[in-house]
């Protein structure tokens, strides 16, 4: 009898979790505004009605919209193509997808999924104890609810001189590796081209209400105030042509912009960001051209 009771309780718990998951999936497919296919292309990311605890300062989870030209397609979240568009109903516009949209995982788990691209980055995060900083529990009670991760590809680490890469992953290099990684993480603000969950970007140019070029300086996890600067750009190559979106970090275009996760925005880098050098131990930034001088100043 006790075994039957336990099995019944387990079944009830499984049903409860399944129901909650299905509800989340349905909400993640729903946007609180009517957007036809042309209007969808006005955005890099779009807010859904799915809200997770303690994420994005109360805003909903986001969808990434990508317009492909060869062959023509509108792709949501990198994998789901709109197969039938602009189905009109009394109170909505419906777009049919060829794949179900699954609500994204936490930032660290999203990086784990793309191991071919980010396995060195995730190994480095785990080595120095930063992986948990990029996680968020399902109830939102532990972890970080809004981050921007400037995520270096494996190729970015592979560009390092072998001795430097070996030093970073040696016992002696853990402090320098953590310092480097902290400079790639912005806490308390998920920065997408068209949405920021924390401090908002400021316009520096606006010739057209639909176009923008915004700048935002954001503090990284470095305790000594290391900042990074983003240029968030929505433009048109030709008048009345399709919109294009771009993110520049420290003046250089990122390799891929506006990756999504449950608690973070991803800006993907082909080169590592070098932390600022400081006047420590007699080393002055103005006197040193070596990009690795920041290691000596730790």
* Cα–Cα distances in angstroms (integers) from residue 43 to residues 50, 83, 199, 213, in the given order: 18, 19, 20, 14
**Cα–Cα distance for residue pair 193/267, rounded to 1 Å:** 10
Percent of the chain exceeding pLDDT 70 equals: 88
CB–CB of 270/285 below 8 Å?
no
How many distinct helices (H) and strands (E) make up the chain? 8, 16
Examine the pLDDT at 240 and tell me if it is beyond 90: no
pLDDT of residue 225: 64
**Cα–Cα distance for residue pair 65/58, rounded to 1 Å:** 21
Q: For residue 167, report the phi and psi dihedrals to the nearest 5 degrees.
A: -60, -45
The tens digit of pLDDT for each residue in 114-129 reads 999 999 999 999 999 9
pLDDT of residue 297: 60
Examine the pLDDT at 101 and tell me if it is beyond 80: yes
Radius of gyration of the chain (CA): 22
**Cα–Cα distance for residue pair 276/286, rounded to 1 Å:** 11
Mean pLDDT of the region 136-145: 92
pLDDT of residue 38: 94
pLDDT band at 239 (very low <50, low <70, confident <90, very high): confident
Domain boundaries, given as residue ranges, for the chain: 2-97, 107-296
Examine the pLDDT at 288 and tell me if it is beyond 50: no
Quote the DSSP letter at residue 108.
Answer: H
pLDDT of residue 135: 96
Least reliable range by pLDDT among 143-152, 182-191, 192-201: 192-201
C-alpha neighbours within 13 Å on the C-beta side of residue 178 = 15
Percent of the chain exceeding pLDDT 90 equals: 77
Strand 195-196 and strand 45-47: the pairing is unpaired
Instruction: Reduce the DSSP state of residue 178 to 3 states and report it.
Output: helix
The full DSSP string for 239-270 is: TTS-EEEEEEETTEE-SEEEEE-SSEEEEEES
Residue 23 CB contacts under 8 Å (≥ 6 apart), including other chains: none
Least reliable range by pLDDT among 126-130, 226-230, 234-238: 234-238
Class of the domain covering 107-296: mainly beta
């Amino acid at each position: 009898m006790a075994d039957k009771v336990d099995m019944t309780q387990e079944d009830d718990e499984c049903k409860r979790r399944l129901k909650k998951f299905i509800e989340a999936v349905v909400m993640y497919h729903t946007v609180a505004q009517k957007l036809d296919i042309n209007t969808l292309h006005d955005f890099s990311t779009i807010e859904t009605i799915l809200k997770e605890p303690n994420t994005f300062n109360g805003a909903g989870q986001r969808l990434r919209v990508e317009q492909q030209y060869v062959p023509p397609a509108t792709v949501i979240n990198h994998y789901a193509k709109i197969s039938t568009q602009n189905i009109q109903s009394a109170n909505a516009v419906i777009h049919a997808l060829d794949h179900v949209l699954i609500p994204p995982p936490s930032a660290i788990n999203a990086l784990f999924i793309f191991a071919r691209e980010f396995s060195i980055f995730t190994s480095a995060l785990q080595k120095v104890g930063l992986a948990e900083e990029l996680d968020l529990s399902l109830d939102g009670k532990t972890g970080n609810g809004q981050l921007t991760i400037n995520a270096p590809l494996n190729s970015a680490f592979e560009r390092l001189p072998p001795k430097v890469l070996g030093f970073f992953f040696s016992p002696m290099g853990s402090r320098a590796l953590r310092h480097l990684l902290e400079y790639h993480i912005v806490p308390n603000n998920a920065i997408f081209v068209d949405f920021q969950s924390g401090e908002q970007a400021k316009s520096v140019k606006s010739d057209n209400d639909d176009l923008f070029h915004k700048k935002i300086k954001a503090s990284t996890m470095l305790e000594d105030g290391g900042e990074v600067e983003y240029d968030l750009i929505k433009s048109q190559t030709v008048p009345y042509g399709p919109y294009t979106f771009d993110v520049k970090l420290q003046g250089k275009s990122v390799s891929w912009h506006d990756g999504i996760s449950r608690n973070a925005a991803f800006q993907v880098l082909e080169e590592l960001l070098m932390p600022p050098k400081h006047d420590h131990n007699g080393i002055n930034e103005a006197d040193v051209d070596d990009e690795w001088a920041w290691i000596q100043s730790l």
